[in-house]
């Protein structure tokens, strides 16, 4: 019988050592590849909550403001846009607001609008920008002045600086099902809950109803108020926000979305509310539109090119891009749908050492390694993404829990660029600690509980471009 130990000059203990070394090396090589989570969610249909659900309750009182929500109103975080809807009459456009330590109520005047969508007419949608706020200050604000007045509060971000810690919630494709409610509740109950939310598109899924029943935009607004009235959410538009319905003569793209969810696009010289940028604490966030032309010389391309030149990593070390359709995705659903944008924008992301590209659209979760495919061109056919430490990590969290359900089918074998994937609903959190380190974690909805399914430290690409793997 062959005895592997019987090699002159090599003792059995040395063989054991070599064997262990080989195993360790094999495991470390394997760990460079991707993980497909073994967790399988109990399969059940995702059902929209009925119209009489408590989360859709209309606030009591004559002309009471409803669907109250806030977002950043300028480039740096010293302004907040307050939006709300009244239904009995237009009512007041005034917002009264005061800082926690002041009795002096300040006053801002907004505007009101209505829009029609087929046979639906919206309530009176109010938007009002509060300006010249102090950084890092809690403010109370009141809407519905003169009728039913309601009071809310928010905290402004700290002043911008390279080592200012800040935490973002990361949510996408939420909709208004029982699962959506679970995701939002888990986010709110997370001890590391964000100070603001980066939302990667597809809001209400009203377009799943006959004639895009816009009442479902109203229910979504009321459902979300418990979070969005108290902390800013940064909106990006998804395909379910296009509301293109030529069969009922509704061809004005993004009509409900843009009328209801204003963005501070002018502060970053964007001519479209669908793409814009904001700075917050130590982060520079660029919001892109997957459903707006992005080819060379289009307005979005020119804007992004100019915007990236403004980023100063000594001021805002963390460069984050959000969009709806993912550029890298190893599921069957929406595979390569982001390819048109990837071909044009990926070189920008690598040149500028973007830290993260967050996307939704896929109703599941996936995180990539740092990879790029910028070498590919139509002649060389060199189309396999390669590890690149100047590249962003691409994370998909279109797993909010909407009516369309989960995307379960994954492409096999798991490609090298995919680091972790799991078909579950959930939410994620990004905790920026300083200019070099950020702690990231994703939480699945598991049998009514939020379970931390993966977490990882990420290093800043400009200040500490070390391989996290």
Are 108 and 263 in contact, with CB atoms under 8 Å apart?
A: no
For the chain, the helix, strand and coil percentages under 3-state DSSP, each to the nearest 5: 20, 30, 50
C-alpha closest to that of 176 among 290, 325, 51, 82: 51
| Residue whose CB is nearest to Fe ion in the complex, by number | 361
Q: Which is nearer to Fe ion, 140 or 209 (CB)?
A: 209
Provide, rounded to whole angstroms, the least separation between the CB of residue 428 and Fe ion: 17
Write down the residue that tokens 């204003």 correspond to: 262
Kind and range of the H or E element at 300?
helix 299-310
Rounded to a whole number of angstroms, the CA Rg of the chain reads 24
Sites of contact with Fe ion (CB under 5 A)? 202, 238-239, 361
What one-character DSSP code corresponds to residue 462?
T
Provide, rounded to whole angstroms, the least separation between the CB of residue 260 and Fe ion: 18
362 contact partners, CB below 8 Å, separation of at least 6: 326, 329, 331, 333, 334, 396, 398, 407
Provide, rounded to whole angstroms, the least separation between the CB of residue 319 and Fe ion: 24
What is the rounded distance in angstroms from the CA atom of residue 339 to the CA atom of residue 341? 5
What is the rounded distance in angstroms from the CA atom of residue 37 to the CA atom of residue 454? 10
Q: Give catalytic status of residue 334 as yes or no.
A: yes
Task: Indicate which residue of 186, 334, 369, 417 is catalytic.
Answer: 334
Q: Which is nearer to Fe ion, 260 or 369 (CB)?
A: 260
Provide, rounded to whole angstroms, the least separation between the CB of residue 205 and Fe ion: 9
Structure tokens at 210: 């006959």
Q: Which is nearer to Fe ion, 139 or 205 (CB)?
A: 205
What is the rounded distance in angstroms from the CA atom of residue 32 to the CA atom of residue 25? 11
Provide, rounded to whole angstroms, the least separation between the CB of residue 238 and Fe ion: 4
Q: Which is nearer to Fe ion, 84 or 205 (CB)?
A: 205
What is the rounded distance in angstroms from the CA atom of residue 365 to the CA atom of residue 407? 9
What one-character DSSP code corresponds to residue 334?
T
In three-state secondary structure terms, 160 is: coil
Pairing outcome for strands 124-130 and 166-171: unpaired
Provide, rounded to whole angstroms, the least separation between the CB of residue 354 and Fe ion: 22
109 contact partners, CB below 8 Å, separation of at least 6: 93, 94, 128
Q: Which is nearer to Fe ion, 209 or 459 (CB)?
A: 209
Structure tokens at 82: 């307050």
Are 204 and 362 in contact, with CB atoms under 8 Å apart?
A: no
Q: Which is nearer to Fe ion, 75 or 359 (CB)?
A: 359
Q: Which is nearer to Fe ion, 239 or 445 (CB)?
A: 239
Structure tokens at 20: 């262990």
What is the rounded distance in angstroms from the CA atom of residue 409 to the CA atom of residue 364? 10
Provide, rounded to whole angstroms, the least separation between the CB of residue 119 and Fe ion: 26
Q: Which residues are catalytic?
A: 334
């Amino acid at each position: 019988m062959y005895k592997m130990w019987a090699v002159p000059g090599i003792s059995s203990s040395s063989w054991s050592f070599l064997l262990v070394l080989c195993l360790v090396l094999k495991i470390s090589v394997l760990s460079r590849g991707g993980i497909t989570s073994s967790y399988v969610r109990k399969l059940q249909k995702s059902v929209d909550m009925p119209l009489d659900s408590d989360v859709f309750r209309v606030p009591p009182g004559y002309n009471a403001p409803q669907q109250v929500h806030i977002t950043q109103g300028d480039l740096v975080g010293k302004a907040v846009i307050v939006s709300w809807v009244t239904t009995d009459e237009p009512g007041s456009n005034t917002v009264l607001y005061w800082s926690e330590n002041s009795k002096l109520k300040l006053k801002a005047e907004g505007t009101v609008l209505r829009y029609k969508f087929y046979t639906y007419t919206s309530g009176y949608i109010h938007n009002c920008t509060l300006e010249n706020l102090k950084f890092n200050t809690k403010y109370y604000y009141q809407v519905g002045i003169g009728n039913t007045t309601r009071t809310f509060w928010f905290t402004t971000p700290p002043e911008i600086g390279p080592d200012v810690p800040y935490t973002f919630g990361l949510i996408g494709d939420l909709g208004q099902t029982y699962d959506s409610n679970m995701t939002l509740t888990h986010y709110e109950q997370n001890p590391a809950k964000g100070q603001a939310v980066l939302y990667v598109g597809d809001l209400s899924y009203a377009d799943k109803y006959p004639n895009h029943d816009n009442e479902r935009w109203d229910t979504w607004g009321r459902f979300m108020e418990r979070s969005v009235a108290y902390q800013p959410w940064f909106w990006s538009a998804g395909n379910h926000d296009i509301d293109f319905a030529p069969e009922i003569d509704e061809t004005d793209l993004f009509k409900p979305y843009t009328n209801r969810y204003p963005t501070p696009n002018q502060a970053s010289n964007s001519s479209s509310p669908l793409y814009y940028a904001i700075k917050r604490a130590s982060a520079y966030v660029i919001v892109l539109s997957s459903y707006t032309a992005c080819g060379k010389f289009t307005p979005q391309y020119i804007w992004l090119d100019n915007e990236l030149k403004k980023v100063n990593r000594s001021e805002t070390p963390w460069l984050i891009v959000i969009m709806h359709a993912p550029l890298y995705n190893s599921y069957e659903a929406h595979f390569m749908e982001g390819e048109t944008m990837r071909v044009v924008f990926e070189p920008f992301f690598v040149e500028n050492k973007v830290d993260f590209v967050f996307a939704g659209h896929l109703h599941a979760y996936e995180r990539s390694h740092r990879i790029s495919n910028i070498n590919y061109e139509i002649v060389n056919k060199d189309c396999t993404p390669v590890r690149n430490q100047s590249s962003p990590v691409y994370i998909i969290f279109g797993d909010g829990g909407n009516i369309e359900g989960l995307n379960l089918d994954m492409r096999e074998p798991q490609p090298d660029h995919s680091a972790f994937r799991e078909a579950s609903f959930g939410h994620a959190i990004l905790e920026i600690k300083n200019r070099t380190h950020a702690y990231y974690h994703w939480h699945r909805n598991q049998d009514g509980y939020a379970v931390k399914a993966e977490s990882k430290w990420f290093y800043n690409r400009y200040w500490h471009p070390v391989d996290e793997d």
